[in-house]
Amino acid sequence: MIKLGLVGRSIAQSSSPNLHTHLGELYGYELDYQLHEPADGSPAALEATLKQLIDAGYRGCNVTYPFKQAALKLADEVKPSAALVGSTNTLLLGNSSIAANTDYTGFIRGYRARLGDSPAGKVLLLGAGGVGRAIAFGLFEVGATELFISDLDQHSAQSLCDAMNAKGFKANAVDKEELHSIAGAVNGLVNCTPVGHYKSPGTPLAKALFSGQQWAFDAVYTPLDTEFLIEAHRQGMKIMSGFDLFIYQGIEAFEIFVDTQVDANKALISFQKKYALQSELFG
């Protein structure tokens, strides 16, 4: 039995147990994947939870809000993906812990699966949180030339820009008043805010600003067809969904946990079929 888990706050509705259990069934591994919510959002509470997992013989865990940056500081070894982004969502546990960021590598893999070699170009990124941070760095791996970052917390947007510029990328923080002019000048639109989720419907970008771009990505995947992607599709853009990110980051984490290669297309189709996930945009 391979013991895995997810560590974070407000994770009761996570689909990660279903995904990893399904991957285990596909590749002949018996998995026990459990959710673990630390007592509070402090680094000390995270450290205590990780110790409990290690003592209980866990092979690894995924990490989500609000612990992605704190978890990186607790790792004994940091893979290049996590070092670049400055956070981790995947920890391989044992005598020593190894941190990776499969949001970063999973986004790159998903982008190429949907958009091939088409370069990302200039991109407007909405949301500078944990997922937004990983996607921001991933965008430059798929051909982004310049990134414009908008967040309700202007400090968060500027902080992410500073981190990216310090590593040689070109990023600019933009405020709401600049969105109209910026949106019309970019090649891609990216939503890494919670807006569009079942619990917070809508789109973080006015529909009038969906015009002239070539592609769009929405990190939200419940529902699969968000208002953001529906509008992008209506405007003739190529699209990548949050479900793609969910699947590919999970596959990347699973490959780290069990040291095996996964047929991503087979896994995506079988998971979607098993859980009857319907999409008008992706078939």
Query: How far, in Å, are 89, 154, 228, 246 from residue 264 at the CA level?
Result: 19, 37, 25, 12
Q: Catalytic: which of 68, 167, 170, 207?
A: 68
Residues 53 and 59: their CA atoms lie apart, in Å, by 9
Coil vs helix vs strand at 62: strand
Coil vs helix vs strand at 184: coil
Q: What is the DSSP string of 71-104?
A: HHHH-SEE-HHHHHHT--SEEE-SSS-EEE-HHH
Residues 114 and 109: their CA atoms lie apart, in Å, by 9
CB contact at 8 A, 72 and 237 = no
* 68 has catalytic annotation: yes
CB contact at 8 A, 245 and 114 = no
206-219 b/e with 16+ CB inside 10 Å = b? eeebbeebbbbbbb
**Nearest partner of 54 among 94, 90, 4, 2, judged by Cα:** 94
Triad 177, 173, 113: Cα angle to 5° = 105
CB contact at 8 A, 100 and 249 = no
Query: How far, in Å, are 39, 51, 73, 75, 257 from residue 70 at the CA level?
Result: 15, 14, 5, 9, 20
Active site residues: 68
